[in-house]
Amino acid sequence: MRCVLNESSYIRLPMEFTLELLQAVLTLNHFRFEQSWFQQISGPSMGAVMAPNYANRYMYCFERQHPLTPHADNIALYRHFIADMLIIWKGDENSINNIIDEINTFNTPIQLTITTDMECVNFLDVCI
């Protein structure tokens, strides 16, 4: 999140304090399911008000650290919504699989999966 805060002119609180607040929100999440209470141990819990903002900013940093621009010639379309990505690839299947495998070796909780189909790919529960 530091990469987003470094680029923001809106932050009115000191950066370290903002990061400490974010850390508290991400690590002190508790939620109830049926009759039991649980503590979320990684990332924001589902339904947390700040979850979409955090996910968008996390993916922004992820994309900046792991750009696909070296492969731009083979990308016909790239879109994402929060943490769901859609890439329409013009290259061969082997090369996109190698890129996905490489990205998945990075030290990050993001693990990409790939679905290939010449007729329909599901993106956000819509067949495209």
| Eight-class DSSP state of 104 | T
Q: Who's near 82: CB < 8 A, 6+ residues apart?
A: 52, 55, 56, 59
pLDDT in tens, 90-104: 988 899 898 889 888
Same domain as 95, residue 122:
yes
Which of 119, 114, 117 has its CA nearest to residue 95? 114
Q: Note every long-range contact of 15-23, with CB atoms under 8 Å and residues 24 or more positions apart, other chains counting.
A: 22/54
**End-of-domain residue from the set 65, 80, 108:** 65
Do the bridges between strand 30-33 and strand 126-127 make them parallel or antiparallel, or are there none, so unpaired?
unpaired
Q: Who's near 40: CB < 8 A, 6+ residues apart?
A: 29, 30, 31
**Domain span including residue 1:** 1-31+42-65
Same domain as 82, residue 61:
no
Report helix, strand or coil for 105: coil
Same domain as 61, residue 5:
yes
The structure's pTM equals 0.69
Residue 33 has which token pair?
């399911």
Query: Does some domain include residue 25?
Result: yes
Query: Does some domain include residue 37?
Result: no
Same domain as 7, residue 56:
yes
Same domain as 92, residue 54:
no
Query: Does some domain include residue 120?
Result: yes
Query: Does some domain include residue 128?
Result: yes
State the total domains in the chain: 2
Beta bridge partners of 32: 37
pLDDT of amino acid 34: 92
Same domain as 96, residue 55:
no
Same domain as 106, residue 57:
no
pLDDT in tens, 9-49: 666 778 788 888 888 877 787 778 899 998 877 777 777 77
pLDDT in tens, 81-92: 887 888 888 988
Same domain as 60, residue 115:
no
